[in-house]
Amino acid sequence: MKKKREPKLPKTKKLDAYIEGAGIVEQKNIVDTLEENYMPYAMSVIVSRALPEIDGFKPAHRKLLYTMYTMGLLKGDRTKSANIVGQTMKLNPHGDQAIYATMVRLARGNGALLHPYIDSKGNFGKAYSRDMSYAASRYTEAKLDSICAELFTDIDKDAVDFMPNYDNTLTEPVLFPVRFPSVLVNNNIGIAVSMASNICSFNLREICDTTIAMMKDPEHDVSSTLQGPDFPGGGFIVYDEEEMQKVYKTGRGSIVVRGKYTFDKESRCIEVTEIPPTTTVEAIMDKVLELVKLGKVNEISDIRDETDLSGLKLTFDLKKGKDPDEFMRKMFRLTPLQDAFSCNFNILIAGNPRVMGVYEILQEWIDFRMECVKRMIYFELGKKKEKLHLLLGLKKILLDIDKAIKIIRETDEEAEVVPNLMIGFGIDEVQADYVAEIKLRHINREYILKRTDEIDNLKNEIADMEETLESPRKIKKLIIEELTEISEKYGQPRRTLFAQAFDDEDEEEEEKIPDYTVNCFLTAEGYFKRITAASLRMSGEQKLKEGDEMIFEQELSGKTELLFFTDKFQVYKSCVNDFADTKASLMGDYVPAKLEMEQGERIIRMITTEDYSGHIILFFKNGKCAKVPLSSFETKTKRKKLANAYYDGSELIAMYKLPEDTEFILQSAAGKILIFNSALVLPKAARDTQGVQVMRLTKTELASALPYSEGMIEEPDRFLSKTIPSAGAMSDLDINQITFE
């Protein structure tokens, strides 16, 4: 009889049969989950990946350079980069692409470092170019640059700790025993979790001189020996004494760097040969082309990237009659040809991230280097003491060499040779073993006398080392000698020079467009029109999108600033001159697209100002009112977007520009009306302040708020309050229906 076939179970049921507890959702505290899963990752990124340590290197840099050192690439010929990358993978598990990208940045060919650590051959890209990609590792070659000798000195003499690699088959140094403050000599950028590091480079000679001066006098004024950062790409630092001191003392601050250019009168070409370290040639060209399209730059007929093997060159063809210096000042204002390097000297000290100024970093490095020198001396001291101990045993044998030979010859078993020598001469096992291993040719008196003559020298050296270990002054003297030697050997002239700020550095850009009055319109859908008076007189009806309506109409100057407040609690800043003249028959510019607002973000109000005087007053559904100075929205830079533009804890009912205090009339959804003077509300500098309670509400909400003018309602004294908060008084009037004659 045919066996009956069992029905096939659905796949999910089969899984449930084999996986115990499958499909059960376990609730867990999100704080516990973050601590168990996210925090270990975050700490790993901070401590073991993104931030440099006091030797100036991140783990990825250290693994690469140490691998090259063990490959013997400090001397000799270059080898293929692919070979180096492959060997580095024994220490670095993050893959060949990540290792090679690290290698590229350290290479001389890339030009990212003031003192490159890798001597390269082939195409390693350029730090000043965004689009110039580096060649694959199989095509390029590399070896360690000569300055790397200063990174590895005494590394084999216990100067630093070693740790096992990721699979416990090799060991690698925890830090390099660097002989100079490399942490400040080469720039370093790192982005960790919730923190970052951005260290600029300083001139090697100046850093060495400053370190020496600090070792001699801890109260030394750093600015007297350290002029300022020295960037690999050169350029000019726009010197600001206050900001520079801030960087030196706190490790934070902004260094403004300006490009370098020359002007050829015959060809009327401006050639830019040095740019700030924070930008690229392509970024500058993109910005200039954008300005040309907007009509803000019309002084040039062409722009070319003429970079070649001789170096960077960005060329502008200047039109006749245009002043080159005036044009470049405009470029410095409007393009990344002048940019700011934001310093954030965040360094790992004993595994803990710390933001430190130059003073503190150099002091930490001095302490670190002193510890390295001490450890090296301890190591050498131990070796010399061991050698002295052996020679003292050899000296005792010198008293009767024949006796030693006799003991060895008359000993029947090899294992008894050392014990018999110990008994015969009163020496320990180590000394006896050393004597027993002396070659037959070396048991002559001359050899032994030469060896024992070293005893006095060893004793003097040991005494000198012990004295050095007990004297911080002597250790500092050794370090000072090292720094002086390195400064003379590797020092080079400054690449980045200094310039003064222009007189109009902080002034707003002077537009070439005439500053005439125009009629400005804004619709509820976000369309903005700028129409001249003549064009408006000849125009017919305003063209609007279906369902759209006009919410703003006013005559404004071309320099008037426009503040667009949105429903995402943000404000976008623009200027009337940023918009081109148009006609009433056109819809105008769509502001959300022009100002690159977020998807779905909607304009709720536009405020205009020329000098940021006065206040903005805001009314919220919960009955609160905030008065914020317009100056709170002013920025020194040309930032177009400001977050947290107003309070987000309650729905915004109304917003008005307030040149001076005046009276407002409020109405609640329950029908109560309140009239009060805005002088009762004190201004708060914070843009997102929640303000103060103006209308006391019970189980209702604020419905509307309007500026009050005499004659708007009958018996206004019944609703007027001289104190806030106030509940107001009942009325059948709907203030939204009031019409103004």
Residue 513 has pLDDT above 70, yes or no: no
Cβ atoms of 270 and 324 within 8 Å: the answer is yes
The letter for the amino acid at 462 is: I
**Which tens digits make up the pLDDT trace of 325-362?**
999 999 999 999 999 999 999 999 998 999 999 999 99
Catalytic residue among 139, 434, 590, 647: 139
**Whole-number Å distance between alpha carbons of 176 and 525:** 62
Instruction: Report the pLDDT averaged over residues 640-666.
Output: 90
Sheet holding 692-693, edge to edge: 652-658, 615-620, 624-629, 692-693
Cβ atoms of 536 and 521 within 8 Å: the answer is no
**Whole-number Å distance between alpha carbons of 86 and 470:** 45
**Phi, psi of 245, rounded to the nearest 5 degrees:** -65, -35
Q: Which residues lie below 8 Å from residue 18, measured CB to CB, with a gap of 6+?
A: none
- Show the CA angle centred on residue 515, arms to residues 511 and 521, nearest 5°: 110
- The CATH number corresponding to 51-178 among 3.90.199.10, 3.30.750.24, 3.30.110.40, 3.40.50.720 equals 3.90.199.10
Sheet holding 589-590, edge to edge: 550-556, 518-523, 527-531, 589-590
Would you give the distance in Å from CA 142 to the centre of its chain? 28
**Phi, psi of 577, rounded to the nearest 5 degrees:** -70, -10
Q: Is the peptide bond before 725 cis (omega within 30 degrees of 0)?
A: yes
**Whole-number Å distance between alpha carbons of 239 and 307:** 28
Class of the CATH domain delimited by 260-336: alpha beta
**Whole-number Å distance between alpha carbons of 45 and 1:** 68
**Which tens digits make up the pLDDT trace of 532-568?**
888 888 877 888 888 889 989 989 988 889 999 999 8
**Phi, psi of 548, rounded to the nearest 5 degrees:** -85, 160
CATH code reported for the domain at 370-490? 1.10.268.10
**Which tens digits make up the pLDDT trace of 284-301?**
999 999 998 888 898 999
**Phi, psi of 703, rounded to the nearest 5 degrees:** -100, -35
**Whole-number Å distance between alpha carbons of 154 and 374:** 11
DSSP for 1-54 reads: -PPPPPPPPPHHHHHHHHSTTTTPPPP--HHHHIIIIIHHHHHHHIIIIIS-BT
Q: What pLDDT shows up at residue 421?
A: 87
**Whole-number Å distance between alpha carbons of 578 and 589:** 11
Q: What pLDDT shows up at residue 595?
A: 87
Cβ atoms of 572 and 641 within 8 Å: the answer is yes
Assigned CATH topology for domain 614-630+644-741: Neuraminidase (2.120.10)
Q: Which residues lie below 8 Å from residue 565, measured CB to CB, with a gap of 6+?
A: 571, 603, 604, 605, 606, 607, 645, 646, 655
Q: What pLDDT shows up at residue 95?
A: 87
> Known catalytic residue: 139?
yes
SS3 state at 80: strand
Could you state, in order of their start, the residue ranges of all structural domains in the chain? 51-178, 260-336, 370-490, 513-610, 614-630+644-741
**Whole-number Å distance between alpha carbons of 230 and 495:** 6
SS3 state at 560: coil
What value does the mean pLDDT of the chain take?
A: 88
Q: What pLDDT shows up at residue 737?
A: 67
pTM comes to 0.67
**Which tens digits make up the pLDDT trace of 379-425?**
999 999 998 998 888 788 877 878 888 888 888 888 888 898 888 88
**Which tens digits make up the pLDDT trace of 142-187?**
999 999 999 999 999 999 999 999 999 999 999 999 999 999 999 9
User: Helices 358-398 & 401-410, crossing angle to 10 degrees?
Assistant: 80
Would you give the distance in Å from CA 675 to the centre of its chain? 52
Q: Using CB atoms within 10 Å of the CB of residue 340, give its burial: 0 to 12 exposed, 13 to 18 middle, 19+ buried.
A: middle
